[in-house]
Structure 1
Amino acid sequence: MTTTAERGYGHEYADLSRLMGRMTGDEKHGPAATSTLDALWVLYDRVLRVTPERVDDPGRDRFLLSKGHGPMAYYAVLAAKGFIPVDWLEGFGGYDSPLGHHPDRVLVPGVEIGSGSLGHGLPIAVGTALGLRARGGADARVWVLVGDAELDEGSNHEAIAFAGPSGLERLHTVVIDNASARHARPGGIAARFEAAGWSAETVDGRDHDALYAAFTAPHPGRPRVVVARVEPKGAVGEPKVA
């Protein structure tokens, strides 16, 4: 039986760099991963109502990682919170490892979707929120993390346009904005969601208190989006993986 210590309980935010450093090998996509680190930590540490013991609880919050090339931070947080053994990190991307370059819901405890192709996560989150609403009674919330460049995908246009008028208040989207998108949007990312009827806010993606306040702000009758701005991809001073 795996012990509590082996599963990673008791880790803090300061431990994440060391945990990420245990993942070696090619194509780690370190910058893409570190851009999500703070938002993921605040969600799992202070917001999401899900634990390793509740991964199959119908009333749990659902978190969907859609942003591509960024699973290292996700795996580090899952290990820190006890969803997976810390020792799994060392096999990241290996042939026999459950930790692939895109998370697999069949292999990794706590993972809700098998991601990969950009543009799928937000539409899946919309469908999940619709399904939970149809069940009635459940208080479960849906969170999806996407990248700014991912919003270039047409499937996201449809999901954004549908969710607002549908009043999917259980749906929460976190957009990591590291200036990777190729297509400019008049007024910025938040304005795009607001035009479709969403509650929207833009914050510093490294400020934990600002992230927490934005994640927990009330938004009755509307889905919520938080745009977390971080340093541009490849910028000088960008956080590095230890």
Structure 2
Amino acid sequence: MDSSEIKQLQILAAKSRMGAILGTYHAKSGHPGGSLSAADIFTYLYFKEMNVDPKNPDMQDRDRFVLSKGHCCPALYATLALKGFFEWDELTKLRHVGAMLQGHPDMKGTPGIDMSTGSLGQGISAACGMALAAKLDNKSYRTYTVLGDGEVEEGQVWEAAMFAAHNKLDNLVVIVDQNGLQIDGTVEEVAGIEPLDKKFESFGFEVIKIDGHDFNQIESALEKAKTVKGKPTAILAKTVKGKGVSFMENQVGWHGTAPNKEQYEQATAELQAEIDRLEGNC
């Protein structure tokens, strides 16, 4: 990618973060921290990587995406809105009774959502099923899933990993958002998962380690994944929880806390300043 493309992705990611803050503020609940850490990944997937069509969200040959850490949907919703799946104003109705956008993804109610998720550990299993279906049907679409590093403590994740390797699902890409924090503290303190790369390798995965906020590294990892044959790929993306909002970064308390009015205004001002800086340099 050239510098102009990278800047456009950075602008979209900042807007995605803005949408996550907007949604959780209006909901008075939600999970901003992990939404902000994954925003760059969502942005690259939907604006560069995946074959999807907002005008035809159910097209048969679309690439599939499963947000296994479903509570971090505010940034995914913002990315879908930016892509054109629904109006931006829907974000202000997040978690409201009867609204399209609920606290966890709902495939029956939200355009662009391929799997309803929420119970941690289960999304990767659904993604394995989608990838296997593509193999059985001789389809070319690929399946991507994003997990949290706290979520990787779940046993079902490793059952799914065994399944993926056993079935040689080289059309499956598992991305772990390694922001190092979960609801009860640091991942290392709660149930250390390292060495995560060696664990995925021992389960039969091709493993790629990246900076999850560097679009060049995200691109390189996903391009490499397309060349891997006979086994699935795990991308371990090192990220910052609360990325892009100074007072939220690396603070475990922002795992599941919505901003108040003052915090919302400060967060929005910081993100808008970043958008203005990037747009001024385009």
Same-fold call, TM cutoff 0.5: yes
SS at match of 2:144: strand
Whether the 8 Å CA contact 1:34–1:241 is kept in 2: the answer is no
Deviates most, 17-26 or 222-231: 17-26
> In the alignment, which of 58, 61, 66 is matched to residue 60 of structure 2?
58
| Cα RMSD, aligned residues only | 2.1
> In the alignment, which of 25, 29, 50 is matched to residue 31 of structure 2?
29
1:147 maps to: 148
Q: 1:92-171 to 2 correspondence within 5 Å?
A: 92-136=94-138, 138-171=139-172
Q: Distance in 1 between matches of 2:112 and 2:82?
A: 13
Q: Distance in 2 between matches of 1:231 and 1:15?
A: 17
Q: Distance in 2 between matches of 1:223 and 1:229?
A: 19
Whether the 8 Å CA contact 2:172–2:232 is kept in 1: the answer is yes
With CA pairs under 8 Å and 6+ residues apart, which has the higher RCO, 1 or 2? 2
TM-score, scaled relative to structure 2? 0.76
> In the alignment, which of 198, 217, 235 is matched to residue 205 of structure 2?
198
SS at match of 1:37: helix
SS at match of 1:54: coil
Whether the 8 Å CA contact 2:130–2:143 is kept in 1: the answer is yes
Shift of 1:194: 0.9
Change over 3 Å in CA distance of 1:54–1:29 after alignment to 2 = same
1:19 maps to: 19
Shift of 1:66: 1.0
Q: Distance in 2 between matches of 1:232 and 1:50?
A: 27
Change over 3 Å in CA distance of 1:72–1:232 after alignment to 2 = closer
Flag as ranges the 4+ runs of structure 1 deviating above 3 A: 11-14, 232-237
Which AA in structure 1 matches 2:249?
Answer: E
1:224 maps to: 233
What do residues 132-161 of structure 1 show as CA deviations (whole Å, max 9, x unaligned)?
11111x101011111011111111111111
Shift of 1:62: 0.3
TM-score, scaled relative to structure 1? 0.88
Which AA in structure 1 matches 2:169?
Answer: L
Shift of 1:236: 6.1
Shift of 1:189: 1.6
SS at match of 2:85: coil
Q: Distance in 2 between matches of 1:17 and 1:224?
A: 27
Which AA in structure 2 matches 1:142?
Answer: T
Q: Which one has a larger percent helix, Structure 1 or Structure 2?
A: 2
Whether the 8 Å CA contact 2:221–2:235 is kept in 1: the answer is yes
Shift of 1:127: 1.2
Shift of 1:21: 3.8
Whether the 8 Å CA contact 2:41–2:213 is kept in 1: the answer is yes
Change over 3 Å in CA distance of 1:81–1:171 after alignment to 2 = same
Q: Distance in 2 between matches of 1:125 and 1:170?
A: 10
2:173 maps to: 172
Shift of 1:13: 3.4
Q: Distance in 1 between matches of 2:22 and 2:104?
A: 17
SS at match of 1:201: strand
Q: Distance in 2 between matches of 1:81 and 1:21?
A: 18
What do residues 69-96 of structure 1 show as CA deviations (whole Å, max 9, x unaligned)?
2111000000000011111111111112
Q: Distance in 1 between matches of 2:104 and 2:14?
A: 24
Identity %: 30
Whether the 8 Å CA contact 2:153–2:193 is kept in 1: the answer is no
Change over 3 Å in CA distance of 1:206–1:131 after alignment to 2 = same
What do residues 193-241 of structure 1 show as CA deviations (whole Å, max 9, x unaligned)?
1111111111111111111111121211111111111125799672885
Shift of 1:68: 3.5
Which AA in structure 2 matches 1:200?
Answer: V
Q: Distance in 1 between matches of 2:129 and 2:116?
A: 15
